[in-house]
Structure 1
Amino acid sequence: MEPIQIAVLVLFALVIVIYRQSQARPTARSGMLYTSGAVIAVGVVSGGLIDTRHLALSAALFLVEAATAVALGAWRATTVRVWVDSSGVALSKATLWTLLAWLASMAVRVGLYVAGNSLGLILSTGGIMVFIGLTLGTQAYLIARRGRALTGTGKRADSFLR
């Protein structure tokens, strides 16, 4: 698949994710965690995460990208409104700050891509997939954790697996 096609697909998927986050939804759901795990797995399996011609530089950039993805997901999670409705269910809904944090996240990811490209690294779509999976998973996990804290149940989002 061409980089332009991949960029369009990624943007389309992010629009869907952002739209869904703008709707009030229960925090005790594990679908996004599984989806994030699948996206990370696809990124790893697709290969090319590390440019073997510049092993140390490429590994360092990958670690920076991973840490940045987690940090941005944690930041976005703090911008999401979490509350308990009258029936005792924890709900979440993105705010305008969440949208701005998403735009900043995309700008940072583009910046990391440009930095790697300017350093002469061969970058793959696998790195983008791992970044998206990590940032979405971090955000989903932290929002679910906030919901559990509000309800006082301590019930994990994946507790249906018991």
Structure 2
Amino acid sequence: MLGFANIIIIIGVMALIVSRQFRAQKLDDGRRFWLLPLILGAIALSDHKLIDSAHRTESVALLAGSIVVMLAMGSVWGWTVRLWRESDGSIWMKGTGATLAAWIGLIAVRLGVYALGSVLHVHQASSGLLLTLGVLLLTRGAVLKWRARLVDDPRTLHPVA
């Protein structure tokens, strides 16, 4: 039953992310960007099937590789978002064409990870996807927070506008 619940959570989180991605929205000035990733990570780590016990080494290596890839993809995603300051001082963000390309790349990479796992005969639980999604969101949030501090700083170049 946990696998089915994870799939529902994954679909819900992805629908929320995609639906908000290309609308201009105020960047949360609070420190809650880590809350959803923390919840996803906690759910994932509570699943005893996160690591395939029949292929422990391969499973851990695949999960670790997935986490590293999601760290990189979260960084890329964070840099593709357009940031600007409104007259009231608030920071706003909106996805760009590069954001869409990053999402397509992310999906392709994720499919590649699943294909590699299948070739290695490693069972990949949905909790692994939850964990890497949490890493992705946490990384993106950290990059956006860091970039937001630099908006309107004349010494800073923003490669994606």
* Category of TM-score, reference length = shorter chain: 0.7 to 0.9
For residues 32 and 94 of structure 2, the distance between their equivalents in structure 1, rounded to whole angstroms, comes to: 16
User: Could you tell me which residue of structure 1 aligns to residue 115 of structure 2?
Assistant: 114
Q: 1:33 to 1:59 in 2, by over 3 A?
A: same
**Contact 1:90/1:151 (CA < 8 Å) preserved in 2?**
no
**Contact 2:83/2:92 (CA < 8 Å) preserved in 1?**
yes
Report deviation, 1:32: 3.7
Report deviation, 1:64: 0.3
CA-to-aligned-CA distance 1:73-129 (integer Å, 9 cap, x gap):
101111000111111111111112112211211221121012112211111111010
For residues 114 and 12 of structure 1, the distance between their equivalents in structure 2, rounded to whole angstroms, comes to: 24
User: Could you tell me which residue of structure 2 aligns to residue 64 of structure 1?
Assistant: 65
For residues 33 and 107 of structure 2, the distance between their equivalents in structure 1, rounded to whole angstroms, comes to: 19
Q: RMSD value over aligned CA atoms?
A: 2.2
Letter in 2 for 1:89: S
Q: 1:3 to 1:50 in 2, by over 3 A?
A: closer
Identity %, equivalent residues: 26
> Could you tell me the TM-score, scaled by structure 2's length?
0.83
Report deviation, 1:62: 1.0
User: Could you tell me which residue of structure 2 aligns to residue 159 of structure 1?
Assistant: none
Q: Which stretch shows the higher mean deviation, 58-67 or 48-57?
A: 48-57
User: Could you tell me which residue of structure 2 aligns to residue 143 of structure 1?
Assistant: 144
**Contact 1:82/1:92 (CA < 8 Å) preserved in 2?**
yes
**Contact 1:47/1:126 (CA < 8 Å) preserved in 2?**
no
For residues 11 and 106 of structure 2, the distance between their equivalents in structure 1, rounded to whole angstroms, comes to: 12
CA-to-aligned-CA distance 1:117-159 (integer Å, 9 cap, x gap):
221111111101001111011111111111122267xxxxxxx
1:83 counterpart SS class: strand
**Contact 2:52/2:123 (CA < 8 Å) preserved in 1?**
yes
For residues 152 and 89 of structure 2, the distance between their equivalents in structure 1, rounded to whole angstroms, comes to: 7
2:51 counterpart SS class: coil
1:82 counterpart SS class: strand
Query: Counterparts in 2 of 1:64-83, with a 5 A limit?
Result: 64-83=65-84
Unaligned runs of 5+ in 1: 153-162
CA-to-aligned-CA distance 1:24-70 (integer Å, 9 cap, x gap):
22222444420111111111112322222222211111110000111
Unaligned runs of 5+ in 2: 154-161
